[in-house]
């Protein structure tokens, strides 16, 4: 990013300076989030296949149907935002995936039909909202890079109003503040992204209990 302890004009950035193209940073973070969520979707699908739960692997929100729903929504929103053709086919893919998830969820319910259908619709819509919110959560990654440059520029600008000793103190204290504050924020947010957008999507407490093979003692 071309940032050296708050100094933004010492070296040329290998990619871009975040503050110069904030929209590009936000787009990069969103696409990274899409890739991350698709990876968790594949892990969930793999777990279902290993467990030989074929119906869930095909029709559950964490299976093929859920992947079609997510990819269709992402494609429809991207094509619509960029005003490119193909919004209708992408929307149909999303609707098809949602329909499969809804039918599968409904088949797993045991109550009466009106309540069964309503509960299934709520659970299926929750999967849609969850994917949408989880994708937007990755915009924080871009926000951190932009805020880092903004803080660095503010500290550098403040130091320029001081004498030599004041400039050194402002840069040192300012960078310590940036490292501590951003280190804490990034640590918290990374753990949150790993858990809510990662582990919680494919890790469950169900399965077979691990029983190690114990070699019998020699007589």
Q: Which residues contact 93 (CB under 8 A, 6 or more apart)?
A: 68, 71, 72, 75
Mean pLDDT by 10 residues, the chain (219 residues): 77 82 87 91 89 88 90 92 90 92 86 79 85 86 84 83 83 88 86 82 74 73
Extract the tokens encoding 77.
Answer: 């929103």
Extract the tokens encoding 64.
Answer: 């093929």
Token pair 């004009």 is found at: 9
Q: Are 40 and 65 spatial neighbours (Cβ–Cβ below 8 Å)?
A: no
pLDDT at 79: 92
pLDDT at 214: 77
C-alpha–C-alpha distance, residues 52 and 190, integer Å: 32
What is the pTM assigned to this prediction? Answer: 0.77
pLDDT at 20: 80
Positive or negative, the CA dihedral 139, 144, 145, 146 is positive
Positive or negative, the CA dihedral 8, 13, 17, 21 is positive
CA angle 29, 24, 40 (to 5 degrees): 20
CA dihedral 88, 91, 92, 95 (to 10 degrees): -160
pLDDT at 159: 82
């Amino acid at each position: 990013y071309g940032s050296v302890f708050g100094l933004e004009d010492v070296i040329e950035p290998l990619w871009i300076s975040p503050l110069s193209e904030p929209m590009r940073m936000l787009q990069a973070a969103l696409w990274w989030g899409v890739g991350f969520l698709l990876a968790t979707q594949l892990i969930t699908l793999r777990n279902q296949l290993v467990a030989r739960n074929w119906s869930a692997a095909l029709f559950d929100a964490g299976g093929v149907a859920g992947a079609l729903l997510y990819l269709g929504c992402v494609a429809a929103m991207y094509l619509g935002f960029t005003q490119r053709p193909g919004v209708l086919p992408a929307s149909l893919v999303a609707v098809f995936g949602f329909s499969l998830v809804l039918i599968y969820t409904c088949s797993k319910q045991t109550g009466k039909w009106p309540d069964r259908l309503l509960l299934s619709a709520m659970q299926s819509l929750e999967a849609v909202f969850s994917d949408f919110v989880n994708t937007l959560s990755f915009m924080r990654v871009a926000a951190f890079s932009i805020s880092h440059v903004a803080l660095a520029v503010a500290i550098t600008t403040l130091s320029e109003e001081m004498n030599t000793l004041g400039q050194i103190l402002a840069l040192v204290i300012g960078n310590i503040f940036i490292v501590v504050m951003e280190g804490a924020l990034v640590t918290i947010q990374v753990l949150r992204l790993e858990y809510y957008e990662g582990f919680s999507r494919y890790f469950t407490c169900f399965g077979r209990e691990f029983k190690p093979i114990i070699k019998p003692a020699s007589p």
